[in-house]
Structure 1
Amino acid sequence: MSRCAVDTSLKRHLIGDFQFPLGVYPVEDMEPKPGYTMVFEPADADADAEFEEWPDRYVFDIVMSHQRLEPFCRQLFSLFKGRVFPILDVLGRDDFREIDPYIAYDLIGMDRFLECLRRYRDFFYEDGLCGFGVMTEEPFFYAFVDEHKIVTIRAEPHMKERIEALLRSFDLEPREDPAGADATAHEHRGVLNSADESLLTFDQIVEDLRDEWRLLLNIDPTNNVDDEGKDLGNTIWHCVARFMGDEGRRRYAEVIVAAGALEEAERMAMDAAEALPKAPPPDDADLILVAIDRVAPDRVGELQIPKGESADPEPSRIISSRWLE
């Protein structure tokens, strides 16, 4: 079975008896404060069109010492039954977006979600570059562990007492100011051992999770804006396409395009990959994009753009494509 492991040279940050994840830790003096806040949120007036309107719910934001996180999550996820929508956030490589938010739009069995948690335990519970969670619509129930390893739960009112009982069982009490690594200046880092070629890298795990959980990038594909909502117009996009054939055989291609929206960049990248010499026909291999990241002007020079080809983002076009051997 494919697996991962932490880099054993990394040291865990401790303040008193409070342990931080290996992948996120404060860089200023602070006082960690385990506990949680709880607020009531009324039903949404305008919901995401892809999902039902979120009903009245209680929201819990929970801080705990790291050694308690995995046991707590095992108990929390045991409250989910049947089929669920997995969620994955990744601090990615897009120069205009801090987090790549992935979500499943098709239900999968909770057993598949839990199996991935077991398989990639160190990635989920230690790495400071990812967050993960799960949700259901009927009943509405949402649980997410962010990249700081702070837990957020959203649940309908009838589940409030059950969640409070779970929190008490871990000696977590309500307080106005719970404080983890995100309460002060802090650093994020990847923690996986990349020297051992028998272990999966961060990118390989994300790719596998996208397959296992049927994840899609949860952003508006029709525009091109940064995290502040600024319209970027056309930008350069670096894309990696994957052909997967029989018995899981994979081949990867790099495509660089200029485009003004995600859907335009995806379409051109797929067309360019299919047009490569010796590209397998559609009936013989599935083609997906495993990476599609915008590149800032000051980093375009790092790309392998053919000599004589302009790196200007205008007009929209395919700039280059090549096999990655």
Structure 2
Amino acid sequence: MRSYTIRTNLTRCDAEGFALPLGVEASTLPCPAQGYTLEYTPSEDDLSEDAYSFHVVVSHELVRAVLHAAFSLLPDEVFPVIEVGSRDAYRSIDVFATPEMVNKRDFLEIWAAYEPFLLEDATIGAGASGDDPPIEVFLDAWKGVAIHVPVSQRDRIETMLIGLGLREVPETWPIDIERSVLSNSRVRDVLQIVDEHSPDLDELLLQMRESWGLSLDVDRDENIDEGGRALGYTLWHSIIVVEPADGSEHHGAYISIWSTAISLGQVEELIADTLAGMPEWSFQSIYSTDRVAFDERPEELSDLPPRRATVAVHQVGLDVWGDGGEPPPPDSFGTVRPPTNEDE
């Protein structure tokens, strides 16, 4: 794992004394009421209990205490989750989850390693949930803490929050806060990027995904947008991390694959087929896979027709990082010939 550093040249902004995460640069935002709001959610079936959702908003210096108190209520086995702004052309948020439980201690060890970043970056949210009892704790991108519990746990959560000096409030942020955010604030990077060896958000996301065993939480057999509209064949860009098949150390590569497919499952098959034609490299992980709007395709694909009705690999790029140290970000690729595809 390459270590990261939070930028030291940023001035923390505040909303009339309410400290914001470093990832938010704001001029004039209204001060929220610190405390929590409470929302009742009836059960959707007879097998589960009605629930309450707490949303806690506190100044930055108090977020960690609230979060750790909430984490202490989680059961011994949890399901981690990450949400981050998406580069996908048809989805605004990427959700990474796992159907497999993780030991709570292991979850918290990984959380501790990335907590300084998670508390400051305004594009990412993360948390965990458990089944017994069914409790969810989530730190959102603006560093509010959401706690979802069955009604039988309400008193327990309120006692915890009162112990932290917090009370229920009618609202935290004003109801029209989105308008103020759009006009008076912007998101900024919080990671210190000194050289090509400094990890960026994508690399930290990959590290957390691998540590918790997370994968993109989408239907791998469909290709739909956020509104549920079927998209059919779309352009995809995938970046794959590979290592030498002979086991040699201190170098590896990123493989960039541009393809047309009708689902993420098909894209993953194309990735496997591509790597089968490059036996000198062994698959390590998927760095990213995003759908790309046709008008945003690279210049090398300028001759690609706008309407395509076959699964195909259009371009494969290789970016090798060498023996002298750790891998650079995958920002440039040398083109190699894609494998033969009968559908192209």
Could you tell me the TM-score, scaled by structure 1's length? 0.87
For residues 248 and 41 of structure 1, the distance between their equivalents in structure 2, rounded to whole angstroms, comes to 52
Tell me which amino acid in the other structure corresponds to 2:271: A
For residues 113 and 248 of structure 1, the distance between their equivalents in structure 2, rounded to whole angstroms, comes to 29
Larger radius of gyration: 2
1:211 aligns with 2:210: yes
Sort the Cα spacing of 1:127 and 1:146 in 2 relative to 1 into closer, same or farther, 3 A. same
SS in 2 for 1:267: helix
Quote the RMSD (CA, aligned, Å): 2.6
Residues 16-46 of structure 1, C-alpha deviations (whole Å, 9 max, x = no match): 3210111135555423221211122122249
Unpaired segments of 5 or more residues in structure 1?
47-52, 281-285
1:172 aligns with 2:166: yes
Tell me which amino acid in the other structure corresponds to 1:301: P
Q: Could you tell me which residue of structure 1 aligns to residue 53 of structure 2?
A: 59
SS in 2 for 1:154: strand
Percent of aligned pairs sharing the same letter: 27
Residues 191-242 of structure 1, C-alpha deviations (whole Å, 9 max, x = no match): 1111255542211111111111000111122222222223222110000122
Deviation at 1:74, TM superposition (A): 1.5
For residues 25 and 44 of structure 1, the distance between their equivalents in structure 2, rounded to whole angstroms, comes to 40
Tell me which amino acid in the other structure corresponds to 1:268: L
Structure 1 runs, 4 residues or longer, greater than 6 Å off: none
1:317 aligns with 2:312: yes
Q: Could you tell me which residue of structure 2 aligns to residue 50 of structure 1?
A: none
Tell me which amino acid in the other structure corresponds to 2:298: G
1:289 aligns with 2:286: yes
For residues 189 and 267 of structure 1, the distance between their equivalents in structure 2, rounded to whole angstroms, comes to 36
Residues 67-125 of structure 1, C-alpha deviations (whole Å, 9 max, x = no match): 11112211211222311100001113112111110112111111222122221222210
Report matched runs for 1:1-325 at 5 Å.
Answer: 2-26=2-26, 28-45=28-45, 55-179=49-173, 184-185=180-181, 186-196=185-195, 199-244=198-243, 250-276=252-278, 278-280=280-282, 286-301=283-298, 304-305=300-301, 313-325=308-320
SS in 2 for 1:271: helix
For residues 113 and 2 of structure 1, the distance between their equivalents in structure 2, rounded to whole angstroms, comes to 19
For residues 197 and 242 of structure 1, the distance between their equivalents in structure 2, rounded to whole angstroms, comes to 16
Tell me which amino acid in the other structure corresponds to 1:145: L
For residues 14 and 266 of structure 1, the distance between their equivalents in structure 2, rounded to whole angstroms, comes to 44
Tell me which amino acid in the other structure corresponds to 1:55: E
Between the two structures, name the one with larger relative contact order (CA 8 Å, sep ≥ 6). Answer: 1
SS in 2 for 1:324: strand
Sort the Cα spacing of 1:207 and 1:197 in 2 relative to 1 into closer, same or farther, 3 A. same
For residues 40 and 179 of structure 2, the distance between their equivalents in structure 1, rounded to whole angstroms, comes to 22
Sort the Cα spacing of 1:272 and 1:310 in 2 relative to 1 into closer, same or farther, 3 A. farther
For residues 301 and 308 of structure 1, the distance between their equivalents in structure 2, rounded to whole angstroms, comes to 10
Tell me which amino acid in the other structure corresponds to 1:33: A
CA contact (8 A) 2:15 2:29 kept: no
For residues 314 and 307 of structure 2, the distance between their equivalents in structure 1, rounded to whole angstroms, comes to 10
Q: Which moved more, 1:107-116 or 1:1-10?
A: 1-10
Residues 233-271 of structure 1, C-alpha deviations (whole Å, 9 max, x = no match): 211000012235757975321111101112112221222
**Aligned length, in residue pairs:** 312
For residues 166 and 301 of structure 1, the distance between their equivalents in structure 2, rounded to whole angstroms, comes to 53
Sort the Cα spacing of 1:323 and 1:224 in 2 relative to 1 into closer, same or farther, 3 A. same
Sort the Cα spacing of 1:106 and 1:121 in 2 relative to 1 into closer, same or farther, 3 A. same
CA contact (8 A) 1:133 1:145 kept: yes
Unpaired segments of 5 or more residues in structure 2?
321-344
